[in-house]
């Protein structure tokens, strides 16, 4: 699951617990702005929802312009709620899909210029209209969340990338539209970064995802590549349970995946220079954050079972310096 960890950058989505620091700041800032065109209660609830979830990525960073913080919080709330329908609690598959279909029905009403049933979607609709956002990214996100309910294995890399186009890339596209920077080339760079960050999330959360989906275990790692490196699901179970330590095959498997996701990140990296001002700096921070997580997984030889990567103060300084240095080039 994307887990919304990119969201700040535009699941994007890697700064430990930053949202718990910035959300109160955003709330006080937003309270002083004019919100008569957007439902105040829905925005308040969206900002509070952002503050209630742990994320590796900041949600509506202080780098964001004030006029975009409320729209970003609404988009976050939409995605967060739908993500929770697919992933949280003890709901049945049927109940999860019913809730997600309810969101789709509300989107359909908005798309048809019909008043939605809920206050939240009425507010979201006003924002979509005001910012001239496309509906496709919202539908794509719901499609990906629904897939998480029913699909637990991915045969090959093409299937993983297809999932990323709907679980991660839509958030980047929405952010580019909000910043009025959604050129075809920028969208392609953004898609590369979003997909890379989604896959980084997969790599660092292998153990967490394995425990999800009602005991059926969710594995985003490619089945053909696991077979190529002679890794079985029983081995992964042993790694998750701590019954065994990783072997050379697992180390090589992770090295292969880290090299590939690094190349994908590099393919999107020019966007950090193309975008200027706040969004450019934010993007460079996100790219540097993703690179730092890759570096930390490398350092432990891919043993994310005992050493799930998190970012500390030193990592933050590295990320900040990289973002500043690249912006001066």
pLDDT higher than 90, residue 62: no
The Cα 83–Cα 248 span in angstroms is 35
pLDDT in tens, 204-224: 999 999 987 556 689 999 999
Give the pLDDT band (50/70/90) at residue 98.
Answer: very high
Q: Is 251 or 216 the better-scoring residue by pLDDT? A: 251
Mean pLDDT of the chain: 83
Taking residue 84's Cβ as centre, other Cβ atoms within 10 Å add up to 17
The Cα 281–Cα 170 span in angstroms is 20
Give the pLDDT band (50/70/90) at residue 4.
Answer: very low
Q: Return the SS3 of 181.
A: coil
What's the residue count for the chain?
A: 329
Q: Return the SS3 of 11.
A: coil
What's the mean pLDDT in 178-205? 96
Q: Is 298 or 64 the better-scoring residue by pLDDT? A: 298
**Alpha helix (H) residue ranges in the chain:** 18-31, 40-52, 66-87, 93-111, 119-131, 136-150, 157-167, 169-178, 184-204, 206-210, 223-228, 233-241, 248-268, 271-274, 277-299, 313-328
Supply the pLDDT for residue 90. Answer: 86
Domain boundaries 18-328, CATH class: mainly alpha
Compute the half-sphere exposure of residue 239: CA atoms within 13 Å on the CB side of its CA. 24
pLDDT higher than 60, residue 279: yes
pLDDT higher than 50, residue 281: yes
pLDDT higher than 90, residue 88: no
What's the mean pLDDT in 131-151? 97
118-124 contacts, C-beta under 8 A, 24 or more apart: 119/39, 119/41, 119/42, 120/42, 120/45, 120/77, 120/78, 122/39, 122/42, 123/38, 123/39, 123/42, 123/43, 123/74, 124/42, 124/74, 124/78
pLDDT higher than 60, residue 153: yes
pLDDT in tens, 38-50: 456 655 555 555 4
Of 94, 84, 268, the residue nearest 173 (C-alpha): 268
Domain ranges of the chain: 18-328
The Cα 47–Cα 205 span in angstroms is 26
The Cα 35–Cα 42 span in angstroms is 11
pLDDT higher than 80, residue 320: yes
The Cα 215–Cα 235 span in angstroms is 16
Supply the pLDDT for residue 162. Answer: 98
pTM for this model (two decimals):
0.84
């Amino acid at each position: 699951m994307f887990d919304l960890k990119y969201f700040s950058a535009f699941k994007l989505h890697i700064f430990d617990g930053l949202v718990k620091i910035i959300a109160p700041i955003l709330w006080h800032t937003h309270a002083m702005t004019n919100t008569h065109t957007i439902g105040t209660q829905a925005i308040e609830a969206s900002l509070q929802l952002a503050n209630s979830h742990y994320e590796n990525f900041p949600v509506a960073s202080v780098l964001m312009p004030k006029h975009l913080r409320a729209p970003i919080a609404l988009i976050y709330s939409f995605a967060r709620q739908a993500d929770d329908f697919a992933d949280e609690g003890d709901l049945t598959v049927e109940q999860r899909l019913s809730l997600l279909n309810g969101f789709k029905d509300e989107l359909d009403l908005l798309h048809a210029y019909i008043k939605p049933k809920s206050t939240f979607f009425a507010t979201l609709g006003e924002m979509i209209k005001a910012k001239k956002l496309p509906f496709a990214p919202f539908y794509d996100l719901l499609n990906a969340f629904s897939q998480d309910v029913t699909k637990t294995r991915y045969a090959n890399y093409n299937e993983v990338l297809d999932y990323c186009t709907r679980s991660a890339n839509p958030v980047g596209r929405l952010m580019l539209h909000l910043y009025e920077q959604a050129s075809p080339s920028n969208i392609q760079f953004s898609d590369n970064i979003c997909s890379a960050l989604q896959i980084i999330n997969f790599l660092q959360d292998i153990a967490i995802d394995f425990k999800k989906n009602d005991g059926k275990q969710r594995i985003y790692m490619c089945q053909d590549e696991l077979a190529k490196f002679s890794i079985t699901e029983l081995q992964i179970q042993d790694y998750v349970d701590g019954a065994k330590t990783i072997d050379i095959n697992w180390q090589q498997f992770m090295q292969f995946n880290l090299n590939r996701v690094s190349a994908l990140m590099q393919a999107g990296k020019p966007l950090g220079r193309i975008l200027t001002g706040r969004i450019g700096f934010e993007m460079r921070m996100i790219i540097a954050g993703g690179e730092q997580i890759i570096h930390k997984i490398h350092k432990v030889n891919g043993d994310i079972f005992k050493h799930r990567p998190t970012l500390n103060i030193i990592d933050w300084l590295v990320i900040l310096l990289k973002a500043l240095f690249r912006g001066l080039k």
